Amino acid sequence: MKIKDTVHFQWYKTLFIVILLALCLFGSIYSTHADFEQLFSNIGQVNAFLRKLSHPDFKYLSRLISPMVKTLKMSALGTVIGVLLAVPFSFLATTVVTGNPVVTHIIRFLLNIIRTIPNMLLAALLVAIIGIGEATGVITIAIFTFGVTSQLIFESIETIDRAPLEASLAVGANRLKTAVWAVWPQIASSVFSYTFYAFELNVRASTVLGYVGAGGIGVKLNEALGLFKYERVSIIILFIFAVVVIVDTISEAIRRRLK
């Protein structure tokens, strides 16, 4: 038997996939009215922008310390509030604790609604309702943290060892005592780990939230972009990157110890 008889290379299927992808690509270009000629004609402007961005204004760094501290405070406070709210709702979002599927489905439905609201939209709505400031940023971060960690926590609850739970119910413990003494000890380390994970996300998110007026260093970023001070934009981006790396490193080290 020759090797060509053992290899089943159906070239026509590959050709069909390539043609289908090409049709999708050109169809997308046509439907969105993408103008690549205009894109390439603006290469000079892109080079000018990158040239300004490549010369960060290090003298401006001293004026970023206070906004960054506010950003970290917003992230920390919003994370703590969000997790504290998420824990009881996470217990209610699983029949392992409640034993009531109706309550569980209602709570999960509410959590799904909260998770579908984008951060930027939520921040813009709260700015319109509450006003510009750090309080708006804290509330936005708290709601975002609540949505993210609640799902992680109730999924952890559903994977616990059921033996302590059944033992607690067998000796007459009510649902609250069972949750505190049989469920919480099994998920406590995961909750703390999720808290630091949420804090990492919130440090990144809070820098963007300030762009819509929610306070923090994002306000400085918005101001620099509005004034076309790209050398300031550059140093702000570098500063945010450095802080995020430091926070990620510390958070990862703490989460490893918790495990």
Q: Where are the alpha helices (DSSP H) in 42-183?
A: 43-53, 65-92, 95-98, 101-116, 119-129, 134-157, 162-170, 175-178
Lowest mean pLDDT among 118-132, 136-150, 173-187: 118-132
Determine the average pLDDT of the residues in 65-82.
90
CA 1 to CA 66: how far, in whole Å?
76
Chosen CATH of 60-258 out of 1.20.1260.10, 1.10.3720.10, 3.30.360.10, 3.40.980.10: 1.10.3720.10
State the pLDDT at residue 107: 92
For the chain, the domains span 3-51, 60-258
Q: Which of 164, 192, 190, 179 is nearest to 94 (CA)?
A: 179
The answer, yes or no, to whether residue 4 has pLDDT greater than 70, is: no
